[in-house]
């Protein structure tokens, strides 16, 4: 397992990631998307597992799902499970927000 550090404080991370806006993030060669809802951060692959659409352009609904802009497939933000559509789950990544910033755990 690899770790990637973003920011040097909790406040810096929260300021860098606007509420309910998807931002793209490079963790080495891995391209990720990050979404903040309050102080909860969701980190997932930036490309939809169905056809590779850019999830940086996705929408978020009130049920905690990310909606792919290409075919409207819906994925659970916490687990990556497909809620609507037929493809593999969206890879999501464990992370930890602390006083020293955000740590992302990659396999």
Residue percentage of the chain with pLDDT more than 70: 100
- Whole domain around residue 35: which residue ranges? 2-106
Look at residue 24 in the predicted model and tell me its pLDDT.
Answer: 96
Mean pLDDT in residue range 75-80: 97
Mean pLDDT in residue range 80-87: 96
d(CA 43, CA 99): 19
Is the pLDDT at 82 greater than 90? The verdict is: yes
Contact (Cβ atoms closer than 8 angstroms) between residue 75 and residue 84: no
- Which residues pair with residue 45 across a beta bridge? 32
The predicted model scores a pTM of 0.94
CATH at 65: 2.102.10.10
* Residues 51, 55, 57, 60, CA torsion sign: positive
Number of domains in the chain: 1
3-state secondary structure of 81: coil
Local confidence band at 28 (pLDDT 50, 70, 90 cut-offs): confident
């Amino acid at each position: 397992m690899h770790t990637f550090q973003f920011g040097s404080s909790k406040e810096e991370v929260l300021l860098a990631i606007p509420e309910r806006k998807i931002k793209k993030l490079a963790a080495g060669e891995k391209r990720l998307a990050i979404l903040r809802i309050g102080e909860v951060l969701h980190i997932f692959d930036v490309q939809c597992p169905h056809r590779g659409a850019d999830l940086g352009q996705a929408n978020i609904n009130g049920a905690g799902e990310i909606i792919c802009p290409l075919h409207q497939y819906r994925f659970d933000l916490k687990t990556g499970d497909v809620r609507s559509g037929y493809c593999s789950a969206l890879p999501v990544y464990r992370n930890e927000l602390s006083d020293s910033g955000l740590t992302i755990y990659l396999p």
